[in-house]
Amino acid sequence: MIKHFKHWADRKKLSSSAIEIIGEIRNGDPSRKVDSRKKNVSGFYPSRKMGVTIQFESHTVELAGIYENELDENVIEYYDQPPSFEITYKGKKSKKTHQYTPDFFVIKNDWIGWEEWKTENELIDLEKKNPERYYKDENNFWRCPPAETYAKELGLSFRVRSDREIIWERLNNIKFLEDYLNDPKGKVPDEAKEVIFCEIKKNPGISIYDLILSLPKNITSDNVYYLIVTNEIFCDLDNFEITDFKKFLLYPDKLTQEVYSNIKRNITREDLLEIETLELCEGSSLRWGNNIYEIINSDEENIWLMGQTGTPKKLSVFIAK
């Protein structure tokens, strides 16, 4: 949350009009109460970031926007149903002017403005009805020119968000981990951490199913889930769902995760079987993706790499048998 709004606004070099509108949004209540419709289920989300409940009119699209704002560290504040503003656009027969209420007003470190969330099908229908209000540009982004014009005059931004942008695996994982995300007091004992870390380092790419089976009875699955939400163990939340326990894999660090993910994408099991030995010499270089790393040290279990950032990285080694 922004502690000193005036100082923050001065640093952002906001216009007096923008400061007035943002102040009204921050200090006021939502401009309208959402309700359920034929195809939508509305509701309220208890925001840990904002300390209030946030309304959503759609339990899929807008709720996904709420989750995104909650977890994005770049988002400082966000508000549902901000005050309406007037938009004007060319209709089929005449100019149209009316009040418009976007879904959210979002304050990020690098972006400030309004967001409207809709399904792709809704936007396609709206474009057919009036392309002056909504249309898809040459870069495949949905646009709302009258709302963008209003925001631009204030030195702020406006954007349309579509369910096409939603990574459903990530959304389902967030829902699964929600209790752990919303429990700031949750803590994993150091002894339990050490056991979990050790098992994953020995078996990088171990499934969450096999990991939990291998742990002593006093270390629970809750301990593992807390380490996932605190980014102390690594996984691919965007492409695999935790509930598919035997396929959801865990890694000791980000670099190891990236390396193993690339191996699985680019090398078949038959390819691996043909590899008998791989000689790694200190001082030699290897390219991975767009990055070049120098091998600075190695032993039977680990390789230490130095990247272009100058920060050493440790990569766990495994032998495919």
pLDDT in tens, 269-279: 444 444 444 45
Mean per-residue pLDDT for 193-201?
A: 96
The domain locations on the chain are 5-166, 169-252
pLDDT for the residue 317: 61
Give 173's pLDDT tier (boundaries 50, 70, 90): very high
Bridge partners of 95, per DSSP, are 90
Give 89's pLDDT tier (boundaries 50, 70, 90): very high
pLDDT for the residue 197: 96
Asked if residue 228 has pLDDT above 80, the reply is yes
Identity (one letter) of the amino acid at 127?
E
Burial of 48 per CB tally in 10 Å (0-12, 13-18, 19+): exposed
Asked if residue 321 has pLDDT above 60, the reply is no
- Cβ atoms of 295 and 285 within 8 Å: the answer is yes
Mean per-residue pLDDT for 151-163?
A: 97
Higher pLDDT, 277 or 222: 222
Identity (one letter) of the amino acid at 261?
S
User: What letters, b where the CB count within 10 A reaches 16 and e where it falls short, cover 100-124?
Assistant: bebbbbbbbeeebbbbbbbbeebbe
Q: What is the rounded distance in angstroms from the CA atom of residue 97 to the CA atom of residue 133?
A: 11
Bridge partners of 77, per DSSP, are 107
Of 40, 51, 64, nearest in space to 117 by CA? 64
Asked if residue 307 has pLDDT above 80, the reply is no
Asked if residue 147 has pLDDT above 80, the reply is yes
Higher pLDDT, 254 or 54: 54
- Cβ atoms of 120 and 165 within 8 Å: the answer is no
Residue 310 tokens, joined: 């100058």
Instruction: Say what the pTM is.
Output: 0.74
State pLDDT tens for residues 254-303. Answer: 888 888 877 666 554 444 444 444 456 677 766 665 667 778 777 777 77
Asked if residue 114 has pLDDT above 80, the reply is yes
pLDDT for the residue 11: 95
Question: Can you name the CATH fold of 5-166?
Answer: Trna Endonuclease; Chain: A, domain 1 (3.40.1350)
Instruction: For the chain, give the percent of residues with pLDDT over 70.
Output: 88
Give 304's pLDDT tier (boundaries 50, 70, 90): confident
Mean per-residue pLDDT for 67-92?
A: 94
Of 233, 218, 216, nearest in space to 180 by CA? 233
Burial of 11 per CB tally in 10 Å (0-12, 13-18, 19+): exposed
